[in-house]
Amino acid sequence: MIGRQLAVFLLSVGVTLAPLPSYAAQPAGEGAGAGGEAGATAATPAKSDENREQARQLFANGQRLYSEGSYEAAIIAFKKGYELSQEPAFLYNIANAYERLGEFGEARNYYDQYRVYADEGQQDALARKIAVLDKRQSEKLAAEQAEKERAAAKAREEERRRQEQLNADNQPKDKVFGPAAYALTATAVVGLGLGIGFGVRANNKRDEALGFCQGEEMVVCGSGAQDALDAQRQSAIAADIGFVLAGVATAALIGVVASKAAKKKKKEAEAANSGKTARRPIVAPYAGGAGGGLVFTGRF
């Protein structure tokens, strides 16, 4: 009993790990044909001597290509040889080549076809091989599906980032020199212009007042000098107001521009470091009833 089980086990392992089977020396026209007819002769058109010789050549070519690792080309040779000879060994070799390529579904189909011609001692081993191929095919399909989902998720993430970039580009820019800065600049320019203008007028009125005065030791001024002096005093006050206004506007402009520049720089720094800061672990001390130490905290 133990000897019989050992023999079956060795036969199963032999079928599972067997190298490419050799092409049968028996002429393909002798034995079962493609349609299961026994005793077909060499005179049968589909099993002519020419076809048998070409099938043997294709089998040899397929074996050589298989040993070189050219599994796709070997499959072509084996399939053409099977069409010519209907020899079951071709089916086994086609299945083996597909398995080497990782095409487990195709390999399973050809192993299943080969089972039709396999003897009883090979059936169990072939059934186990087919079961393994079914499992590997399921795992392959699951891996391909997971890869598709990862690729789709990556594409969605890239599209989201692209949309965010487009939205950011379409948003109004956070300009340092905004409407408030323009208004303050205009106020400073107007104030400076008023100061300069009224300052020139005050000087002119002072000179006009001096024109109404005569004498060296005793200066005597006419009635027009007082009017000129009053006008000069008013122009000087207006000039001072203009210069003060220009100074205040200029100081406010500098403050607004500096504040906006600082806020913009801070916002850019926060945007650049937002991702890094969230993932950075923090070392924090802890203490408990059993002792103390350091612990890493943070989000990953």
Cβ contact 165:271 at 8 Å? no
Rounded CA-CA distance 294/292 in Å is 7
Specify the DSSP element, H or E, that contains 206: helix 179-211
SS3 245: helix
Q: List, in order, residues 6 or more apart from 246 with CB less than 8 Å away.
A: 187, 188, 189, 190, 191, 192, 194, 195
Rounded CA-CA distance 56/54 in Å is 5
CA torsion sign, 119 to 125 to 131 to 137? negative
In order along its 300 residues, the chain shows pLDDT tens digits of 334 433 433 333 333 334 444 443 333 333 333 333 322 333 345 457 889 999 999 999 999 999 999 999 999 999 999 999 999 999 999 999 999 999 999 999 999 999 999 999 999 999 999 999 999 999 999 999 999 999 999 999 999 999 988 887 776 666 666 677 778 789 989 878 887 988 888 788 777 767 767 666 655 666 666 777 788 788 889 878 988 888 888 988 798 778 877 777 777 777 666 644 444 555 455 555 555 555 545 444
Rounded CA-CA distance 190/182 in Å is 12
**Token pair recorded at residue 11:** 């036969």
pTM exceeding the 0.85 threshold for the entire prediction: no
